Amino acid sequence: MTPMTKRLLEQVESWPEEDQEELAEYAREIEARRTGVYRRSRQASRRMRVRFTPQAFAGREKIFEYLRDRSPSGARNVLASIRDTVRLLGEHPYSGYKTNDPDMRVKFVTRYPYTIFYRVREEVEIIHIRHTSRRPWRGE
């Protein structure tokens, strides 16, 4: 281990737990790429409850209605991908990117141009779901 790595690990001990867990997730991803062995993290075994705010739930329904009018099967595919992403947030709540707001995180929906804004507290709270081509969201 290099001296710089040793110094960094000593500093990590003073970091908040969520930052330590995020660093551990990165380390697990690097180890998995190196070895080809993928393990479930400790965080995955502690599934968190996920809750939509009324605004986020209404937004999800508007997305579905808009898409359903144009392509019913496409709407089902997008909604399934959003559901999969939300389920993953329950398993890995710190997997989204940090935003300028220290309480807010963002997760990109796989295969489709949507983002999910959320908070992690006692539960994962979905705040907003948004198409990426829309103007940037300014928060609540």
Q: What is the pLDDT of residue 137?
A: 62
| Structure tokens, 113 | 């141009």
Burial of 69 from C-beta contacts in 10 A (0-12 / 13-18 / 19+):
exposed
Q: What is the pLDDT of residue 68?
A: 92
Judge if pTM exceeds 0.75.
Answer: no
Q: What is the pLDDT of residue 20?
A: 78
41-57 pLDDT, tens digit each: 554 456 889 999 999 99
Question: In this prediction, what percent of the chain has a pLDDT beyond 70?
Answer: 84
Q: Which of 12-26, 61-75, 97-111 has the lowest mean pLDDT?
A: 12-26
| Top-confidence residue, 82 or 135 | 82
φ, ψ dihedrals at 97, nearest 5°: -80, 145
Question: In this prediction, what percent of the chain has a pLDDT beyond 90?
Answer: 48
What are the chain's domains?
3-39 (no CATH), 47-131 (3.30.2310.20)
| 108: CB partners within 8 A, 6+ apart | 85, 114, 115, 116, 132
- Give yes or no for a contact between 82 and 118, defined as CB atoms under 8 angstroms apart: no
Average per-residue pLDDT for the chain: 84
Q: Is the pLDDT of residue 7 over 90?
A: no
| Structure tokens, 38 | 């993928």
